[in-house]
Chains A and B, each alone.
Chain A
Amino acid sequence: MTRNERAPGSGDRPPGAGRLLIGAVRHTGGRLSLLIALMVLSTAASLALPALLAAAVNAVLHGDSGAAPALAWGAVMAAGAVCDTLMAPLGAVCAAQGTRWLQQRTVGHLLSMGGRSPVPAGEAVSQVTQAAQQAGALPVAVAGWGVTVTGSAAALAALLWLDWRCGLAFLICVPVTVLIARRFVGRVTRVYGDYLSAQSGIAVRLLAALTGARTIRASGTLDRETDRVLAPLREVSVAGHRIWRLQKGTVWQFGLLISLTEALVLGVAGLGVVDGRLSPGQFVAVAGYLQLAFPAVQQIDVFFTLAQARAAAVRLAGTFAHAAVRYGTAAAAPGAGAVSFRGVTVRAAATDGAGGAEGTARAAVLDGIDLDIPAGACVAFVGRTASGKSALAGLPGRLADPDEGEVLLDGRPVRELAEGPLRDAVTYAFERPALLGGTVREAIGYGRPGLPRSAVRDAARAAAADGFVRKLPEGYDTPLERVPLSGGERQRLGLARTLARPARVYVLDDATSGLDTVTEAEVSAAVTGALIGRTRIVVAHRVATAARCDRVVWLDGGRIRASGPHAELWHDPAYRAVFAADEAGDGAGIGDDAQAGDGGSSGTGGGPDGAFDDARDAVTDNMSDGTRRRRYAAHREA
């Protein structure tokens, strides 16, 4: 069974751009049809107006006191205005509904991929905010464009019908306008590129300076830094002035061309009046149809908009091409959290994306792992970077699925479990938890509405987070965005969030790596107390963490090299070298999974060698944490 093979009975393919757009249209709830009807009515009214105006003007010139033509003009005008008034909000509602539907579908799909989404977060945000908006507005834009162009074509037809010479005079100007516009767009794009790159020079310098805020503050060099950041402003200004010169050279040409076309057409029409081909009223009608025909010329940029919106839909469809996790339908088997791995093999992701698993020899991340973890046990996974320990830990909760083999929870394959039962049974704490929710309290109780305050507090206490949370300006109600969390504090909140959920199996994936050894010992003891009798899988970089578990599974190159109590394994120099290599590291290259790669954001914490982590700690940490904790407490009281 390969990773890309989906559960049976799932015949539906991911939606393409077309189906997404159709879906967006369907979710406008019939308003789009109403909108198109209004657009047609409004266009028809505006086409009738010059003819009615001609009749009214002729009536004026003949001294006819009959107000009928003028009133007819007024009535049609008013009807058109009513249509126009309703059109804009209706269009906005249609676009907004389509957009909202696309946004929710996209986010829903991104989340249904679990942690496996290959779409970077930045791209996902711009898909939801920009692409969904452009694609959501497409149906309305297409309708509007179609109606406008039809209207302009009809106006041109009317012009030709009134006097073919006038129509011809108008048509002369069209190619020239298109030429000017294309030349201008080409040039301005280039110059604007220069402008943007000069501008991003400032942004880059500013970002760099922001990372040094503390140094700048201490050095009192704010003014100097400000000048340094602003140095590229001169280039920005130069490029800016070039854009202005370009506009100066082009914009007047458009205006003049349209005006001259108008004068030319009116001249032709005037001659028509002299020749008796046209009545004075029809002269006015020519002027009116001319105004209606111009938009067709100005619709060039609409093609650009349409292409952009279409591209946006294709971009969204790209996200839907990545398959979501498919859950089974079964409830969890009765049990207390025994986890078994049967012949589990995981291969590195294929470079060509979803398809093509056949034939290509992908490197094995995990290679034929067989392992049984009894219910209630505490097992450490250790190994060097890229040994596969995080990959293995991710399998019971289906953060990834094996390419071969099966993972069982209390005897039932995890693939067969429905989403709810699986999440209730297996939960995770991560090295770099992403915290969600408005406040610290909401972050700990995330996804568990109605969790009592005392439960939040107990979880925080067990994760040794209660102390620093209470020092925050508003304690548990402090907004997360106002809390400058160190890596260790973030980890402790993430751990508290995990401890606040009852589960059979707790996977702690390097969840305490950012803590100093004393705090870590405290946290470990509290976690042991809180999770007594629950199965724990602990991915560990530290000797102390591994030493506290009942059993250690030592992974090397995707296979289990040895397994047993830490004290036994410790006799093997190769086993000791696993930790030596990691702890001598300088903060880079930790973690053997994808999340470790970002590392860009804050800076503190996150490294495997938290403060005071040296060989001596490793040794002392080897005693049971109960003893250690009692000792520390006794020392403090002394």
Chain B
Amino acid sequence: MPHIVKRDPGLRLLREATAGSRRPLVRALGWSAVQAAPALASGRMLATALDRGFLAGRPATGLLWLAGIAALYGVRAAAQRAVFDPLAAIVEPMRDALVRRVVRGALGRAVHEGLPGAGPDAAGVTRLSSQVDAVRGTTAALLRTALPLAVNLLAALIGLASLDLRMAVVVAVPLLAAIAVFVPAMRALTRRRAAFLLAEERVAAATGSVVAAARDVAALGARDAALAEVRVAAEDSARAATTVAWANALRVPVILVGGQLPVLGLLLAGPSLVHRGEVSAGAVIGAVSYVTAFLIPALQQMTGSVAGFWSQLRVLTARLAATSAGPGPSGPAAGRRPLGAAELAVHGLTFAYGPHSAPVLRDVSFTVPVSGHLVLVGPSGVGKSTLAGLLAGIGRPDAGRVELGGRPVAGLPEAVRAASIALVPQEAYVFPGTLRENVAYLAPDATDAALNRAVAAVGMRPLLDRLGGYDADLTDPAGTLSSGERQLIALARVYASAARLVILDEATCHLDPAAEAVVESAFARRPGTLVVVAHRLSSAARAEHVLILDAEGHAFGSHGELLATHPGYAALVGHWDAPLPAPVP
């Protein structure tokens, strides 16, 4: 059994999301009470219509009382109409709160826990938004049905008691017993529904991965293995669906005992009561109508749709609570004062992805002087991006430290760190918005002149002109701009910022070598320290300092020094001591 309905983080989520909805809730309850008017009085009025009207041969009186019932229905309709305002006042803010939480959680988790290379999960985002909407729909449906239902049950019992207390007892005892049995049984239903939901997700996941890999499956001759994956998931899901249906079947005996049995009781007890003249014939019919017109439908709703909504809501909120949990909001970004240009010193830095995994970085140490220019080289997958992240202060090393001007970057307040150090990853982030919003992202108060300087420095001028100035609206940057153009925007943004340590993590990989050289020399001239994770070896020749990382460890020096002393570096660069035997292109 899955544990997604344990300990009720879902209910807590729901409570938090509806906090502040107390007043509309009271109003909704009030209107629901008004909706119960027919449930309270119609049986009694029907009894009177029969006793004094139709059965007494006075049709006008009978019709008058029926008109009274119709008027009560009118009241109910008015209350049904009015209840929508408070319902909207509960459900809409709740949805807003949930969306906020989901977005904050998803973004926060990606930002704080995401590993480099982990892409966004489009299916996950879609699933989250449809789950939030399902919670909204279910909550609305539940409030609309459960509140009037509870009030109706109570009102019908009171109306029945006002007809005759003994008949009320005959009805109430089995009814309450049935409810007492059903409510705890709903837990099982909720649990089974949760299992079913998970089983369906597994079918979707298995199908998705297998179908997306159809070519590989065919080429590997692994069709049976792939089909078996889907079959196991589909069979689980079918079994879970059946289990839910059996749990649902419990409602039938509950209705039988709680609703139909009282009718039988009334029919059996009725003759003697009427015979002794203690109850009128109309009263018996009225009592039966209370049960058949209000109590049985209420029971049916309670065991059917309301129970379904409730367990669905529990499952959904538990899922949401589990998937949307994220770090709380970080501190205010205002008042950030960047550090000045400073020396970058790394001492004994060690990092591994997990406690059982071999370290990616082991005991890395080096120092880059104020305004120095360092290039990081090494084969792919060796940990260059990891080191770049640690230098930027956005990861926790297992041992050692990174210092900027003598202060450990891990200990800097978030706002100071973010303002002092800028990291440009390989995948440039350009968001839908104006070009100005994007370029001035890290310097919101920058003048056009300052932005122009940054744009000119990185060679983005032609792009700016092509897009038509800073106010150009980039509605779909991923679709309309090339990877290289997006990289230029991200580079101009960082150039315009106040950061005094800039780390370019293959940030120019989509530019041609000439454009890359323009960017790197612009950043080298810019005040502050520059670290470049090299994509092409030409980067290394431009720097004063080079750090090579490879499977054996690391070495630090100038391009020339490393070329002469570090064989791995020489191998990487392709400068061999032997003459080249190759044909000349």
Does chain B have a CB within 8 A of A556? no
- Some 17 contacts from A to B, beta carbons below 8 A apart, are A53-B267, A53-B288, A99-B238, A211-B478, A223-B329, A229-B107, A240-B92, A244-B92, A251-B80, A259-B77, A266-B46, A274-B62, A287-B292, A475-B357, A519-B380, A634-B567, A636-B568
Q: Looking at the complex, which of A165-173, A369-377, A420-428, A526-534 is the stretch in contact with chain B?
A: A420-428
Given the interface contacts A60-B284, A111-B217, A215-B429, does A612 sit within 8 Å of B264 by beta carbon? no
Give every chain B residue within 8 A of A636 (Cβ-Cβ). Answer: 552, 567-568, 571
Contacts of B284 in A (CB 8 A): 57, 60-61
Is the C-beta of A329 less than 8 angstroms from some C-beta in chain B? no
How many whole Å from A69's CB to the nearest CB in chain B?
A: 8
Contact of A274 among B57, B229, B238, B352 (CB under 8 A): B57
Out of B117, B441, B478, which one reaches A604, CB within 8 Å? B117
A-contact bits for B183-201, CB 8 A (1 contact / 0 none) = 0000000000000000010
The answer on a CB contact under 8 Å between A611 and B441 is no
Residue of B nearest to A195 (CB): B133
Residues in chain B near residue A221, CB distance under 8 A: 333, 418, 441
Q: Tell me the smallest distance from the CB of A620 to a CB of chain B, in Å.
A: 5
Cβ of A471 < 8 Å from any Cβ of B? Answer: yes
Given contacts A103-B234, A209-B431, A586-B483, contact A89 B103 (CB under 8 A): no
A206 within 8 A of B: yes
Closest to A119 in B: B211
A303 is an interface residue with CB less than 8 A from chain B: no
Known: A251-B80, A399-B215. A233 touches B432 (CB 8 A): no
- Decide yes or no whether A197 CB sits under 8 A from chain B: no
> Which of A111, A470, A517 touches B223 (beta carbons < 8 Å)?
A111
Contact (Cβ within 8 A) A247 B200: no
Q: A63 interface residue, CB < 8 Å from B?
A: yes
For the complex, is B582 an interface residue (Cβ under 8 Å from A)? yes
Cβ of B85 to closest chain A Cβ, rounded Å: 7
Number of B residues near A (Cβ < 8 Å) is 185
Instruction: State A562–B230 Cα separation when bound (angstroms).
Output: 46
Cβ distance B376 to chain A, nearest Cβ, rounded Å: 11
> Which A48-103 residues have a C-beta within 8 angstroms of B?
53, 56-57, 59-61, 63-67, 69-71, 73-74, 77-78, 81, 84-86, 88-89, 91-93, 95-97, 99-100, 103
Instruction: Give the complex CA separation of A571 and B582 in angstroms.
Output: 11
Most buried by B among A117, A494, A501, A518: A518
B162 contacts A by Cβ under 8 Å? no
The answer to whether A518 and B120 have CB atoms under 8 Å apart is no
Partner of B107, one of A93, A225, A475, A601: A225
**Smallest distance from the beta carbon of A330 to chain B beta carbons, Å?**
16
A-B contact count (CB 8 A): 534
Most buried by B among A66, A112, A206, A251: A206
**At the interface, yes or no: B348 with Cβ under 8 Å from chain A?**
no
The answer for the CA separation of A191 and B484 in the assembled complex, in Å, is 40
Contact B432 A205 (CB under 8 A): yes
Rounded to whole Å, the gap between the CB of A495 and the closest CB of chain B is 12
Which of A125, A202, A603 sits near B426, CB closer than 8 Å?
A603
- Residue pair B482, A474 in contact (C-beta under 8 Å): no
The answer to whether B571 and A284 have CB atoms under 8 Å apart is: no
Given contacts A111-B223, A223-B329, A586-B483, contact A81 B107 (CB under 8 A): no
Q: Judge if A455 is at the interface, Cβ distance under 8 Å.
A: no
Task: Assess whether A333 is interfacial by the CB under 8 Å rule.
Answer: no
Q: How far is the CA of A587 from the CA of B482 in the complex (A)?
A: 10
Give Cα A154 to B581, complex, Å. 96
**Whole-angstrom distance from the CB of B186 to the nearest CB of chain A?**
16
List residues of chain A with CB within 8 A of the CB of B421.
218
- Least CB distance from B569 to A in Å reads 9
With A209-B431, A587-B510, A588-B483 already in contact, the answer to whether A226 and B381 are too (CB < 8 A) is no
Q: What is the minimal beta-carbon distance from A615 to any residue of chain B, in angstroms?
A: 7
Q: Are B222 and A447 in contact (CB under 8 A)?
A: yes
At the interface with chain A, which of B14-22, B122-130, B399-407, B461-469? Answer: B122-130
The docked-state distance in angstroms from the alpha carbon of A263 to that of B574 is: 95
Q: Are A244 and B203 in contact (CB under 8 A)?
A: no
Q: Looking across the interface, which residue of chain B has its beta carbon closest to that of A601?
A: B119
Q: Which residue of A lies closest to B505 (CB)?
A: A214
Which of B242-250, B450-458, B518-526 contacts its partner? B242-250
Flag if B268 contacts A67 (CB, 8 Å): yes
Q: Which of B95, B211, B244, B414 contacts A220 (CB 8 A)?
A: B414
Among A4-12, A309-317, A339-347, A480-488, the one that faces the other chain is A480-488
Q: In whole angstroms, how far apart are the Cα atoms of A259 and B73 in the complex?
A: 6
Q: Is the CB of B418 within 8 A of A229?
A: no
In this assembly, does A516 line the interface, its C-beta being within 8 Å of a C-beta of chain B? yes
Q: Is the CB of B429 within 8 A of A211?
A: yes
Known: A99-B234, A110-B214, A240-B136. 17 other contacts (CB 8 A): A115-B219, A199-B133, A207-B120, A210-B106, A210-B107, A219-B422, A233-B99, A240-B88, A248-B81, A255-B73, A287-B293, A419-B221, A423-B219, A446-B225, A519-B379, A595-B215, A636-B567
Are B92 and A81 within 8 A (Cβ)?
no
Complex Cα distance A381/B348, Å? 47
Question: By the criterion CB–CB under 8 Å, are B423 and A214 in contact?
Answer: yes
Is A475 a contact of B356 with CB atoms below 8 Å? yes
Closest Cβ of chain B to A444, distance in Å, is 11
Tell me whether A139 is interfacial, beta carbon within 8 Å.
Answer: no
Interface check A554, CB cutoff 8 A: no
Selected from A93, A119, A467, A486, the residue in CB contact (under 8 A) with B242 is A93
A93 CA / B74 CA spacing, docked (Å): 43
Bound together, the chains give a CA A427 to CA B570 distance in angstroms of: 37
For A104, list chain B residues within 8 Å (CB). 227, 230-231, 234
- Report Cα–Cα, A88/B535, bound state, in Å: 63
Given contacts A117-B214, A206-B106, A635-B570, whether A244 and B87 have CB atoms under 8 Å apart is yes
Question: For the complex, is B173 an interface residue (Cβ under 8 Å from A)?
Answer: no
Residue pair B423, A218 in contact (C-beta under 8 Å): yes
- Answer yes or no: A183 CB below 8 A from chain B CBs: no
Output the least CB separation between B144 and chain A (Å): 8
Which of B357, B380, B431, B506: most chain A CB closer than 10 A? Answer: B380
Q: Does A36 contact B (CB under 8 A)?
A: no
Which listed residue (B67, B100, B336, B431) contacts A230, Cβ 8 A?
A: B100
A634 to B126, CA, bound (A): 53
Partner of B580, one of A433, A570, A620: A620
0 or 1 for each of B323-338: is its CB under 8 Å from A? (1 = yes): 0000001101100100
Residues of A within 8 A of B219 (CB): 114-115, 397, 399, 423, 427-428, 430
Q: Which of B469-505 contact A (CB under 8 A)?
A: 477-478, 482-484, 490
Most buried by A among B78, B84, B244: B84
Contact: A602 with B100, CB < 8 Å? no
Tell me which of B129, B379, B477 contacts A199 (CB under 8 A). B129
Q: Is the C-beta of B560 less than 8 angstroms from some C-beta in chain A?
A: no
Contacting residue for A93 out of B111, B245, B432, CB 8 A: B245
Give the chain B neighbours of A78 by CB distance below 8 A: 256, 260
Stretch binding the partner chain, chosen from B48-56, B153-161, B174-182, B365-373: B48-56
Shortest C-beta distance, A347 to chain B (Å), equals 20
Is A359 on the interface with B (CB-CB < 8 A)?
Answer: no
A177 within 8 A of B: no
Q: Would you call B218 and A325 a contact (CB within 8 A)?
A: yes
A220 with B252, Cβ < 8 A, contacts A63-B275, A208-B478, A571-B583 known? no
A40 CB, nearest partner CB in chain B, Å? 17
B213 at the interface (CB under 8 A from A): yes
B252 touching A84 by the CB < 8 A rule? Answer: yes
A368 interface hit (Cβ, 8 Å): no
Residues of chain B within 8 A (CB-CB) of A622 are 581-583
The reply to whether A436 and B536 form a contact with Cβ atoms under 8 Å apart is: no
Residues of B within 8 A of A284 (CB): 285, 288-289
Docked-complex contact A210 and B99, CB < 8 angstroms: no
Alpha-carbon distance between A222 and B104 when the two chains are bound, in angstroms: 8
Q: Which residue of A lies closest to B384 (CB)?
A: A611
Most chain B CB within a 10 A radius of its CB, from A280, A424, A474 = A280
Interface positions of A from 606 to 638, Cβ below 8 Å from B: 607, 610-612, 614-620, 622-623, 631-632, 634-636, 638
